Amino acid sequence: MKLVRIKDIAAEAGVSIGTVDRVLHNRGEVALKTRERVLEIAKKLQYQPNIVAQALTAKKQYHIAALIPKDDSDNTFWTFHPNGMERAIQDLKPFQVEIKFYFFELHNEKDFIKKSEKLLADKPDGVIFAPILKKEGKEFTKKLDKKSIPYIFIDTFIEESNCLSFIGEDAYQSGRVSASIIDYGLGVDKDILIVNLAKDLENTQHLNRRNQGFMSYFLDKGKNKGMKITVEIPSTEREVVKERMDLILSNNPNIGAILVSSAKTHIVAQYLQNKKINDIILVGYELTDENVGYLRKGIIRFLVGQKPAEQSEKAVKKLFDYLTTKQVPLKKEYQHVEIINIENIDSY
């Protein structure tokens, strides 16, 4: 369809561009007969206003809030997301968009609530957040709904919410991908250990979904028939990890592979390195510097990545599109996961 411009309407109506502009934007005096003719021609030509151009001239500021975990020395995965959001803000610079970050401590429910209340008090136009904590995330969405503040999920999706969109990995399918990698290279009778480095696994939705996907693979198509052993380690302190891992491996000497369900894979990699264990296939998540270091050493065999900076950049732009043009994005936009090993790491 040909783009209809204001000057096209003006030419057919036999009036000036300024007259058409006044009619379409309802400003200034225009004779009734002329107004009716301009509107009639605009309808006939199927004129669509350039809302983006209007946003440029409106001089309105858009305030976006981001509620995400803050990175720490054990989990630098969350350093990628602000980078992606800042990149989007730079692309949207002509539109006077600003973003404010509210960082909460991962797995700290009280800190999440505190930061979410501070965010609400600042009255943003829209919100991007990672609902890592399922229960608290649901309560926060109810407050956003009550205030009619649109929001987009990244990293984790909460069912039965009014989010505009979710942008991130399909955690369930990601778990199946990890299972297929291990199944391909592991003996059929070897046992598999799933390590969850989380304080409250039940309330950490994306890890649960990965685990569910992992187990489903072996229930319906996996070749491996060994035991699937799951352990939850609530702390990343080296002594705590060592104690739990020592106990598990001593009680289960047939373990041939380990899946770490989060970006903290390097914690288990360090344990294996210190114990000089090199015959266990270790698979984990995300291209953090710590994980990549152990991948290069051959201790981590495979990493599954979900392009966190890219998903955050998309989230900002989709929220901006909605705020300016009411363009509703897809409810779920899954990021393709990447499988990385020592052979292709240099291309990332």
Is 271 inside any structural domain?
yes
Report, as an integer, the average pLDDT of 318-332. 89
Confidence check: pLDDT of 201 > 80: no
Do 178 and 301 lie in one domain? The reply is yes
pLDDT digits (tens, 9 = 90+) for 33-63: 898 898 888 888 888 766 555 555 556 789 9
Listed in order, strand segments (DSSP E) in the chain are: 62-69, 97-104, 126-129, 151-154, 165-168, 191-196, 228-232, 255-260, 281-285, 302-305, 332-334, 338-340
Q: What pLDDT, on a 0 to 100 scale, did the predictor assign at position 291?
A: 97
Query: Any idea what the CATH number is for the domain that residue 19 is in?
Result: 1.10.260.40
Q: Does residue 194 share a domain with residue 208?
A: yes
Q: Which amino acid is at 253?
A: P
Whether 344 maps to a domain, the answer reads no
Domain check: are 177 and 159 in the same one?
no
What is this structure's pTM?
A: 0.81
Q: Let me know whether 242 and 299 are in one domain.
A: yes
What are phi and psi for residue 5, nearest 5 degrees?
Answer: -110, 165
Q: Is the pLDDT of residue 203 over 90?
A: no
3-state secondary structure of 126: strand
- Check residue 65 and give its pLDDT: 98
Q: Does 347 map to a domain?
A: no
Q: Phi, psi at residue 70, to the nearest 5°?
A: -90, 145
Backbone phi, psi, residue 336, to 5°: -70, 135
Residue 92 CA to residue 88 CA, distance in Å, equals 6
Q: Structural domain tally of the chain?
A: 3
Q: How far is residue 212's CA from residue 241's CA, in Å, rounded to a whole number?
A: 23
Q: Indicate whether 176 and 164 sit together in one domain.
A: no
pLDDT of residue 57: 54
Residues 130 and 181 in one domain: no
Give me the domain span that covers residue 43.
6-49
Whether 162 and 102 share a structural domain: yes
164 and 312 inside one domain: yes
Q: What is the pLDDT of residue 50?
A: 62
121 and 191 both lie in a single domain: no
Q: For residue 343, tell me if it sits in a domain.
A: no
Q: Is residue 286 part of a domain?
A: yes
pLDDT of residue 55: 58
Residue 222 confidence (pLDDT): 93
Radius of gyration of the chain (CA): 26
Residue 324's pLDDT is 86
Q: Indicate the average pLDDT of the chain.
A: 91
Do residues 292 and 301 make contact, with C-beta atoms less than 8 angstroms apart?
no
Question: First and final CA of the chain: distance in angstroms?
Answer: 40
CA distance 172 to 208: 8
pLDDT at 104: 95
Q: Say which residue, 33 or 266, is predicted with more confidence.
A: 266
Task: Name, in order, each residue with C-beta under 8 angstroms of 85's C-beta and a sequence gap of 6 or more.
Answer: 66, 99, 101, 128, 312, 313, 315, 316
The one-letter code for the residue type at 61 is Q
**Residue 141, domain member (yes or no):** yes
Question: How many percent of the chain have pLDDT more than 90?
Answer: 70
Residue 157, domain CATH: 3.40.50.2300
Contact 153, 165 (CB under 8 A): yes
182 and 273 part of one domain: yes
Average pLDDT over residues 225-233: 96
